[in-house]
Amino acid sequence: MELLDGKRVKKEFFEKLKEEISKLDRAPGLAVIQVGNDPASEVYVRQKEKMANGLGYLFKHIKLNEDVKEEELLNIIDELNNDDNIDGFLVQMPIPKHINPYVVQNRINYLKDVDGLTDINMGALVHNKEFLVACTPQGIMDLLEYYNIDISGKNVVIVGRSDLVGKPLASLMTNSNATVSLCHSKTNNLKSFTKRADILVVAVGKPNFIKKEDVKNNAVIIDVGINRLSDGSLCGDVDFESVKEKASFITPVPGGVGQMTVMELAKNTYKAYKLLKTNVKH
């Protein structure tokens, strides 16, 4: 069993990226809009700020009250779309229920959409013409590539069909010639799928959901989940201690996919800078 060490991959990538950034005529700009005081969001925004500062990016954090009107949020998005110093930005999820996330995400200029969630970017991905791809799925692909894990022809099972992870990852895997099963809460006999996966990706937000008996020998296990237990410790959606006995490769939690997500946000910001520079159009 070998650990898929996201921390190591991110460190190496950041060293190369810093070199590229030093050649630019100005620092790329990243903005995060946060609505409300969700505790997890606070942590994620701090991570993004730390990443941006470490790379020398311009970082802008716009924090809005929980009761902000949708129109006001959309006006701020318009301002960032027109701000030449901001190359990429995102609205930190979750947002309050009175605001439509679909409307908000699609107000973002697709060339600045570092979360890869606009209809244009999601559609481009399906057609294998991606511009900016959701960070976690692209991070998984880059992690597999780093460890020379071949995807072509493999049986890939993804548990979880979110717009942020499952759906875009299914497209990326399909584009890389994998045979993909996208499972979810309505899937009958989930174990019959997970047990035949060469590569199993789990993104359901349930602590230790996948057990040793759910996976086949020598499977590659990608655990996207990060859950805080009552004792304060963190665990993934995969029961790491038991599953690692059967896996050929497995991601740790923390230190695996989460590190790759941060790396991809940095990469997307740099990519957005380049896209805006060349003003690429479909």
47 is catalytic: no
48 is catalytic: yes
Catalytic residue, from 48, 154, 167, 271: name it: 48
Q: Rounded CA gap, 13 and 42, in Å?
A: 25
Name the helix (H) or strand (E) containing 32: strand 29-35
Q: What is the dihedral of CA 224, 47, 6, 169, to 10 degrees?
A: 40
Catalytic residue, from 34, 92, 105, 138: name it: 92
| Helix, strand, coil share (%) of the chain residues, nearest 5 | 45, 15, 40
Strands 179-183 and 220-223: unpaired
Catalytic residue, from 87, 115, 142, 214: name it: 115
Residue 213 and residue 201 in contact, taking contact as beta carbons nearer than 8 Å:
no
- 68: which 2 tokens? 């902000």
Task: For residue 98, give Cα distances in angstroms to 70, 103, 188, 196, 208.
Answer: 8, 12, 34, 42, 33
244 is catalytic: no
Q: Rounded CA gap, 18 and 36, in Å?
A: 33
Q: Rounded CA gap, 3 and 69, in Å?
A: 45
CA nearest neighbour of 144 among 218, 240, 226, 250: 250
Residue 13 and residue 267 in contact, taking contact as beta carbons nearer than 8 Å:
yes
Residue 47 and residue 266 in contact, taking contact as beta carbons nearer than 8 Å:
no
Phi then psi for residue 59, to 5 deg, are -125, 130
Residues with catalytic function: 48, 92, 115
